[in-house]
Amino acid sequence: MSDLEIIAVIINMLGVWLTARRTPWCWPVNVIAVLLYVWIFYDVKLYSDMLLQIVFVFMQGYGWWQWRCGKVEAGRVHVERLPMPLAWKGLVIGGLLALLLGASMAQFTDAQVPWLDAALAVYSLVASYWAARKYVASWWLWIVLDAVYTGLYYHKDLPLTAALYGGFIILALYGLRAWQRNLQAGKQHTEAAPALP
């Protein structure tokens, strides 16, 4: 555990809490958090996670733009259901990209856990995209990913980061419930097609 990891954990917790509160300021806070983790993941040879953090910088900008253009009331965005066809598309494309990235990491780097790291990185992008689009289902995917990440970081001797991701599960449950309440309050139109909550 390093000072850098401690700072990164604190900023990450703040960013996820702001996301759960549907506050657009979550995005710039998350930029700082992901930049800190670029270095941390490079140091422990989780290269897919390192690349993910770099991509996350751009995803944070996209998310901030999406939220600033979205419907806002009292500084909070309104959320939506994820249409089932988009859910399947995201999961299938994520699976294919995870296989491609995992194979590349296994073949060309000294990554410690290339396949798992790649799958987690790619599906984190899917979850981030869904969150940027304000889909409630993003929280379900984050819960699964955070549970697996918790074990991975514990295995990689990053106990504080493992604890952070354990905390992310609790924050994701909070975010899921808060976003579901916003959806159920009838503040957002319902989709005609079947959708995930």
Distance CA 155, CA 162 (A): 9
Q: In this predicted model, what pLDDT tens digit does every residue of 76-96 receive, in sequence order?
A: 677 899 999 999 999 999 999
Mean pLDDT of the chain: 87
What does the alpha-carbon distance between residue 2 and residue 178 come to, in Å, rounded to a whole number?
A: 33
Lowest mean pLDDT among 51-60, 62-71, 92-101, 105-114: 62-71
Longest dimension (CA), the chain: 50
Contacts 24+ apart (CB under 8 A), 33-36: 33/8, 34/60, 36/4, 36/7, 36/8, 36/11
**More reliable by pLDDT, 44 or 73:** 44
Give the residue, 70 or 35, on which the prediction is more confident. Answer: 35
At 121-177, the pLDDT tens digits run 999 999 999 998 889 999 999 999 999 999 999 998 889 989 989 998 998 999 899
